[in-house]
Structure 1
Amino acid sequence: MSTEHVIRETLENAYPEATFDLINESHMHSGNSTESHFKLIIVDERFNELPLISRHKDIYKNLGEVIKTFHALAIHAYTKEEYSKIDHAPKSPNCSKK
């Protein structure tokens, strides 16, 4: 099972009401790994009462040991209201070594 699939499955179980997009951005970075860098855009009402850092901590906690299987995860966690006010999540920069 691919790392991306495991991340998706873990997030689906942890955030059943969420809408999310998991993007494999490994091609934007140096190295040979095809599953090293991911971007997560997640929208969930459970974030309503959580400050940004707590949202990230919650996601890391729910990913558990899976987090050790890849190099980087860019997290963009929003409430429905926050997400409705933006066009899109921030673009990720290319790796400086690529």
Structure 2
Amino acid sequence: EQSAISIVTSFEEIDGKPMYNTIMTTLITILKPTSITLTDNSSQHAGHAGSKGWEESGESHFALEIVAEAFEGLSLVKRHQLIYMLLGETMQKIHALEIKAKSPAEV
């Protein structure tokens, strides 16, 4: 008997963090993850090249941890490429995205 996998369907939007909200909405909607954590590390990079961030929000550096069935059978590189493709133009607006992507079987 297989246990039901719980899928993340929503998150708490953060006022003044449009990039965070966009990334979360896109990945939750398309990948239907069982777990997702996005951390805005921009404040640790203040003054660095590329740390201006998106518009006035100052969002530039993120760390993503995501678990989704979509990653099953994909190499690490393919997982990263999938995320970059899904985020599209959003990726051009941020300086760094650290990714830890796993399938449910790897958790």
> What is the TM-score normalised by the length of structure 1?
0.76
**Alignment equivalent of 2:63, drawn from 25, 35, 39:** 39
3-state DSSP class of the match of 1:20? strand
Q: Higher helix share goes to which structure?
A: 1
Instruction: Give identity over the alignment, percent.
Output: 37
Counterpart amino acid of 1:3? M
Q: Which amino acid aligns with 1:9?
A: T
Q: Paired residue for 2:100?
A: 76
Q: Alpha-carbon deviation of 1:23?
A: 0.5
- Give yes or no for the alignment of 1:21 onto 2:15: no
Q: 5+ residue gaps in structure 2?
A: 1-16
Residue 76 of structure 1: how far off its partner (Å): 0.4
Which sections of structure 1, spanning at least 5 residues, go unmatched? 84-98
- In structure 1, distance between residues paired with 2:37 and 2:83: 14
TM-score calculated relative to the size of structure 2: 0.70
